[in-house]
């Protein structure tokens, strides 16, 4: 059952307990946060979204339409370049896991994902030799040649700055929704914040040349069941395709279809850790059926393009830092009897609880083993072995 909301929080239904789950994704209107008359309603809806769902659509954001549209247009141009141009910035050349990951290289839960990606990060220096190895998930970007996609770098940097502003706004509102001081999360972030965008393309499935093995019902794994690692993710679904799904606490998969002019925002493992799991890092996946690539009139929609931005905490926070926040008792009480069914790999939990950097680095070694083997061969073999043993229960 879905809770009804009151301006003071959840209605007095069992919605406050984790035994209640969601069957649709709420829409939250950011413009309501700007007026004192509607802010309490906004915060109650946000609280529900963070605690019960872990996923929501955010509308009326500060993102300038021209910045977003320019970013999307240039990103599609990049994705459509011939393979040899894209391979000039192959991720395997970057010990920071930045740049292009071609189709068939990425794995989630040890199964190949049917997508290609380019990752670009807020400008941040590479770590020094004395720093922990996991800090290598930051460093210089690999940019395509300016003549291949003119204006691409500027479009991405401007877009990341704007999503960064939205992220700064949201981290204050998340604190307020949990009845914490507005600046409660500030000390966990770098200034400026660390954000990474993935430029994703899910090509039209080709029966003649399948990207991976389809399941019995004909679905391909666009990206397998997982939880995001960061604080919040701001996902722009740039095309009309169905396929994104969030898993509720009973284990059912709930569609998250695109809604024009919204972001899909979801809770990552770091926000879950900071709130002692009061906020839920909801498991999600992109499950692709060849039918999703056609509209109602049977016209091809072409590839699916989507663009998540992962808002990340300071990478070197410790377990003590991550567990240092005290939530008010009435907020902690919102989640009881926590039995959550998730198809995401539990293997990663302990790494994300050690430090955000350790969590992200470990996930990268397993999702991009070709990059891991090139730069961190011993560590990669160790982690892949541990992942296999964990999953096989040995
Ligand atoms: O493509 C999407 O809609 C979601 C992608 C995603 O969940 C991810 O890359 O973490
Ligand atoms: Fe994700």
Ligand number nearest to the C-alpha of 255: 1
The predicted-structure confidence for 257-282, as pLDDT tens digits, reads as follows 999 999 999 999 999 999 999 999 99
Q: How remote is the CA of residue 251 from the centroid of ligand 1, in Å?
A: 19
| 146 located within any domain | yes
| 8 located within any domain | no
The predicted-structure confidence for 67-114, as pLDDT tens digits, reads as follows 999 999 999 999 999 999 999 999 999 999 999 999 999 999 889 999
Total number of domains constituting the chain: 1
* CB of 246 closer than 6 angstroms to any ligand 1 atom: no
* CB of 284 closer than 6 angstroms to any ligand 1 atom: yes
Phi, psi of 293 (to 5 degrees): -95, 15
Report, as an integer, the average pLDDT of 121-133. Answer: 94
| 20 located within any domain | no
Ligand number nearest to the C-alpha of 226: 2
**CA 330 → CA 155, 241, 249, 268, distances in Å?**
44, 40, 21, 22
**Closest residue to atom 8 of ligand 1, CA basis:** 308
* CB of 198 closer than 6 angstroms to any ligand 1 atom: yes
284 CA closest ligand 1 atom index: 7
* CB of 176 closer than 6 angstroms to any ligand 1 atom: no
Cα 46 from Cα 3, distance rounded (Å): 13
The predicted-structure confidence for 150-163, as pLDDT tens digits, reads as follows 999 999 999 999 99
* CB of 363 closer than 6 angstroms to any ligand 1 atom: no
Complex ipTM more than 0.85, yes or no: yes
Q: What stretches of 227-380 adopt beta strand conformation (E)?
A: 232-237, 244-247, 253-255, 262-267, 284-288, 304-312
Q: What is the CATH number of the domain that holds 132?
A: 2.60.120.330
Q: How remote is the CA of residue 42 from the centroid of ligand 2, in Å?
A: 25
The two tokens of residue 29 are: 């209107």
Ligand number nearest to the C-alpha of 242: 1
Q: Report CA 231 to chain centroid distance, whole Å.
A: 9
- HSE at residue 81, side-chain half, CA atoms within 13 A, is 26
CA distance from start to end of the chain: 38
**Closest residue to atom 2 of ligand 1, CA basis:** 306
* CB of 309 closer than 6 angstroms to any ligand 1 atom: no
| 5 located within any domain | no
Q: How remote is the CA of residue 285 from the centroid of ligand 2, in Å?
A: 7
Residue of 83, 292, 311 lying closest to 202 (CA atoms): 292
The predicted-structure confidence for 281-337, as pLDDT tens digits, reads as follows 999 999 999 999 999 999 999 999 999 999 999 999 999 999 999 999 999 999 876
Cα 30 from Cα 135, distance rounded (Å): 34
For the chain, give percent helix, strand, coil, nearest 5: 35, 20, 45
**Closest residue to atom 1 of ligand 1, CA basis:** 306
* CB of 235 closer than 6 angstroms to any ligand 1 atom: yes
Q: Which residues contact 128 (CB under 8 A, 6 or more apart)?
A: none
Residue 330: per-residue pLDDT? 96
Residue 17, pLDDT above cutoff 70: no
Confidence of residue 393 (pLDDT cuts 50, 70, 90): confident
Residue 381, pLDDT above cutoff 90: yes
| 9 located within any domain | no
Report, as an integer, the average pLDDT of 177-186. Answer: 98
Residue of 263, 261, 238 lying closest to 49 (CA atoms): 263
| 14 located within any domain | no
Cα 143 from Cα 164, distance rounded (Å): 20
* CB of 306 closer than 6 angstroms to any ligand 1 atom: yes
Mutation test of ligand 1: which of 119, 195, 198 has the most ligand atoms closer than 8 Å to its C-beta?
198
Q: Could you list the residue range(s) of the whole structural domain that residue 259 is in? A: 25-393
């Amino acid at each position: 059952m879905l809770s009804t909301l009151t301006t003071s929080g959840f209605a007095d239904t069992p919605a406050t307990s984790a035994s209640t789950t969601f069957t649709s994704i709420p829409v939250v209107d950011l413009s309501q946060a700007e007026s004192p008359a509607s802010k309490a309603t906004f915060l109650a809806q946000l609280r529900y979204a963070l605690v019960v769902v872990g996923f929501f659509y955010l509308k009326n954001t500060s993102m300038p339409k021209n910045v977003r549209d320019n970013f999307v247009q240039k990103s599609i141009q990049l994705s459509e370049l011939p393979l040899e141009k894209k391979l000039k910035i192959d991720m395997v050349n970057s010990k920071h896991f930045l740049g292009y990951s071609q189709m068939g290289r990425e794995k989630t839960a040890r199964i190949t994902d049917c997508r290609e990606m380019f990752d670009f990060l807020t400008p941040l220096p590479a770590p020094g030799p004395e720093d922990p190895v996991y800090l290598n998930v930051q460093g210089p970007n690999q940019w395509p040649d300016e003549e291949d996609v003119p204006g691409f770098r500027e479009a991405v940097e401007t877009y990341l700055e704007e999503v960064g502003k939205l992220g700064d706004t949201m981290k204050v509102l998340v604190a307020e929704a949990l009845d914490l001081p507005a600046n409660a999360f500030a000390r966990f972030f770098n200034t400026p914040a660390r954000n990474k965008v993935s430029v994703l393309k899910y090509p039209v499935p080709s029966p003649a040349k399948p990207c991976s093995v389809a399941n019995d019902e004909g679905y391909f794994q666009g990206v397998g069941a997982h939880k995001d690692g960061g604080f919040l993710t701001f996902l722009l679904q740039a095309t009309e395709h169905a396929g994104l799904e969030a898993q509720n606490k009973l284990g059912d998969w709930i569609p998250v279809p695109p809604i024009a002019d919204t972001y899909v925002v979801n809770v990552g493992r770091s926000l879950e850790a900071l709130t002692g799991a009061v906020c839920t890092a909801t498991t999600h996946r992109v499950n692709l059926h060849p039918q999703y690539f056609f509209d109602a009139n049977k016209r091809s929609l072409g590839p699916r393009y989507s663009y998540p931005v992962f808002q990340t905490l300071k990478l070197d926070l410790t377990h003590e830092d991550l567990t240092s926040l005290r939530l008010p008792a009435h907020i902690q009480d919102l989640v009881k009897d926590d039995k959550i069914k998730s198809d995401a790999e539990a293997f990663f939990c302990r790494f994300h609880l050690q430090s955000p950097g350790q969590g992200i680095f470990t996930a990268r070694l397993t999702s991009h083993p070709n990059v891991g083997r090139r730069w961190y061969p011993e560590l990669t073999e160790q982690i892949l072995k541990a992942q296999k043993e964990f999953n096989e229960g040995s």
